[in-house]
Amino acid sequence: MDERAIGILSAVVTALCWAVLAIGLKMALKYTDSGTIVWMRMVIASAVLLIGYLVTSPGQLRILKHLPLLGLLAGVCLAANYFGYMKGVELTSPSNAQIMIQAETMALIVIGIFYFKERPSPLQGLGFVIASLGFGLFFWDQIRVAVANQAHFIEGNLWIAMAAVTWAVFATCQKILTKLWTPQQINLLIYLLSTIVLAPLADFSNLTTWSWTDHGLMLFLGLNTVLAYGALGEALKRIPASQASVIIAANPLLTIAIMTFLRYQKVQWIEADLIDWRGYLGSALVVVGVIFAVRQPKDQSLEK
């Protein structure tokens, strides 16, 4: 398999992981709180990577001895992103969180324009307009048909907005750091830092009350973190960021498809997402807008 094929496959893996993540997070909220969930995800992710390096390549751990300042910033931003997104899932729904978090791509492009001095193309401008219309339609739909508590819904979306901005800063730091370190080294550093940052938010007394099923779900969420971000790093290393972003941008539609299927199956283990035609149209416009927005000209990239 050539490098491009591996990069595309890695992007697909990231999209699939993120598509089911929000659903798993909503299920975990049945037996624990947001702070404990995000802390446990980071603990598991850190442990898997640390053990992997200790067994296969201890020399790669040198990044922990020479902590890059950008790595510290990336770790804090990823911790904020995880907690903000988790609160968004808690206060709204998996589908809403998946659509609204797409604002992170827009925030990343804005950083590219102002920090990396990139020149936005007309197609990117069109993408911003289409995505903005999609966000508006989806938000309107959820306010009208799905929201029992508008205050919680608005608060949840504010958390998601914070998560989007901090993810864009994290992604920018990671892109710069990949010039000096491997993606997995950077991931190990930021997972460990995020574990420390998030520890005060965790309720450790909850851990002793979990069933084996609860522990299994938490393990899945932690491994999902390792696989998704590991695959993302490999994708960005092998194919242009714009190509990887197009593939990954489709993941909210898969989440909505799964949640719609579960609603019609009338399952009892997760609360159904209610979406009307405005929401479906809005979600499609968001994804199309994001795809347009990430289609940069060939001579423009965050790799400058």
Cα(295)–Cα(76) distance, integer angstroms: 29
Contact 241, 303 (CB under 8 A): yes
Residue 261: closest CA among 19, 14, 3, 4? 19
pLDDT at residue 121 in the model:
84
Residue 78: closest CA among 108, 42, 115? 42
Q: Residue 39: which H helix or E strand, with range?
A: helix 34-56
Q: Which residues contact 101 (CB under 8 A, 6 or more apart)?
A: 85, 88, 160, 163, 164, 167, 252
Domain coordinates in residue numbering, the chain: 3-294
How many other CB atoms are found less than 10 A from the CB of residue 236? 24
| Ramachandran assignment for 266, one of left (phi > 0), alpha (psi -120 to 50 degrees), beta (any other) | left
Q: Among all chains, which residue has been given the structure tokens 């914070």?
A: 162
- The predicted-structure confidence for 118-165, as pLDDT tens digits, reads as follows 777 888 889 999 999 999 999 999 988 767 788 889 999 999 999 999
pLDDT at residue 299 in the model:
41
Evaluated on CA atoms 284, 286, 287, 291, the torsion sign reads: positive
Contact 128, 293 (CB under 8 A): yes
Contact 73, 173 (CB under 8 A): yes
The angle subtended at Cα 170 by Cα 163 and Cα 200, nearest 5°, is: 60
Contact 289, 129 (CB under 8 A): yes
Q: Which residues of 106-122 are buried (b: 16+ CB within 10 A; e: fewer)?
A: bbbbebbeeeeebebee
Spans in the chain with pLDDT lower than 50: 298-304
